[in-house]
Structure 1
């Protein structure tokens, strides 16, 4: 089972690992695209006004551009320790046992605008690049990543659970992947998507899927696993599941 997560804009700074080694990352067939984008970001960082425009950041976020300038030399952290924010707070990898962390590193992957697809244990530096960023002189990130990344994901054995947000899922859709919509249900029965609530629930779901000793083979097996865990799961057919939780 492979669980695809979105990255986060916010990231833990620093690290305790050696500088970025693109050749050491999982899925080495993506090294060429990764190299192109790293070089483009480092070069762009030399033009601070241009970098602000391309990355969609303000002058108060110039530290993000400085991080990009040091992509090749800054310290690294494992992917699951690098990203922060609501989803990753709910995932809470720091509290996993050693065995659970090993399963998480094997099962969880992040769909990154810079690295394409990185596994939980891959070591990466802090960086700034979003799926919607437009780098000068290059095609859209979707046009860059889709031809390289889509075949990689299509060849993934076993069940793929795609928890990526729309912009990152668009970089390389996965045919047949299970998708999960999270709805918040009010006491009157009305439902809606709430961004913070959605991220937190997906973080808890990722934790469950990363640590379970079960290995669902299809959407029905996944639905069964989630219901056994006490989740309210609706399945109208196909590969789409809906998680419904009471509004807080």
Structure 2
């Protein structure tokens, strides 16, 4: 089982540590592409219209400025750099040593800057959404799609993929549907369902934590995943097709 996560919008900078070593990151096939994105992002982030280009407000100017120094900024493990609702619910730092090893081996974060990284890969904090377009590269989701397909194919072969990405990041790579389960979260009141955002992030983080910390074997099929998730929530599993992944719908009381 592998769990696919989106990055958090905000990042917690590493207090100290060596700069990122691109050659030490997972998926070395992406190294050249990562260099190109870093260079293009640095150029955009130094421009007068950087905030508008990256779609952020003036309060985040310091984060955009950091984009121009990624080669020298201190780096830390991805599970510490990425913070926010989903990652707080996942609660990596409250796990046992064994559970942390499972998370390090079983979580892949799909990123606009790195393409994809392992959970223990050391990276600096940065500001960049997958929805942004960069000069010479275009929209990042389109830029990464063929590159991620090539780089991740061997890594994910034979694994059940629990896809907790948001739609923005899911657009960057569409894995084989037969062994992929997209996780959706709804609230329900009086028989009426509603898609939620904040609670979806939190619940996906809780699901990731549950799968990494529960006793027993990790799920190896969509049906086993649904049974594992059913230990905590009301769920339904919608079978996939030749072109569409399975869907695990988690239903929360409104």
Higher strand share: 2
Please report how far the alpha carbon of residue 15 of structure 1 lies from its aligned counterpart in structure 2 after TM superposition: 3.3
Please report how far the alpha carbon of residue 23 of structure 1 lies from its aligned counterpart in structure 2 after TM superposition: 0.7
In the alignment, is the contact (CA less than 8 A) between 1:185 and 1:191 conserved in 2?
yes
- For 2:163, the equivalent position in structure 1 comes to 162
- For 1:16, the equivalent position in structure 2 comes to 16
> Normalized against structure 2, the TM-score is what?
0.91
RMSD across aligned positions (CA): 1.4
> Normalized against structure 1, the TM-score is what?
0.93
- For 1:209, the equivalent position in structure 2 comes to 211
| Mapping for residues 97-136 of structure 1, pairs under 5 Å | 97-136=96-135
Deviates more, 1:190-199 or 1:8-17: 8-17
| Mapping for residues 45-64 of structure 1, pairs under 5 Å | 45-47=45-47, 49-64=48-63
Please report how far the alpha carbon of residue 149 of structure 1 lies from its aligned counterpart in structure 2 after TM superposition: 0.2
| Mapping for residues 147-158 of structure 1, pairs under 5 Å | 147-155=146-154, 156-157=156-157, 158=159
CA distance in 2 between counterparts of 1:44 and 1:132 reads 15
- For 2:44, the equivalent position in structure 1 comes to 44
- For 2:172, the equivalent position in structure 1 comes to 171
Task: Spell out, residue by residue over 1:163-189, the C-alpha distance to the aligned partner (whole angstroms, 9 max, x if none).
Answer: 100010101111221111111112x22
CA distance in 2 between counterparts of 1:81 and 1:60 reads 22
Moved over 3 A (4+): none
Task: Spell out, residue by residue over 1:170-220, the C-alpha distance to the aligned partner (whole angstroms, 9 max, x if none).
Answer: 01111221111111112x222111111111100100111222342221101
In the alignment, is the contact (CA less than 8 A) between 1:55 and 1:129 conserved in 2?
yes
Q: Does 1:183 align with 2:182?
A: no
Q: SS of 1:111's equivalent?
A: strand
CA distance in 1 between counterparts of 2:129 and 2:213 reads 28
Q: Does 1:69 align with 2:68?
A: yes
- For 1:245, the equivalent position in structure 2 comes to 252
Task: For structure 1, list consecutive stretches of 5 or more residues without a partner in the other structure.
Answer: none
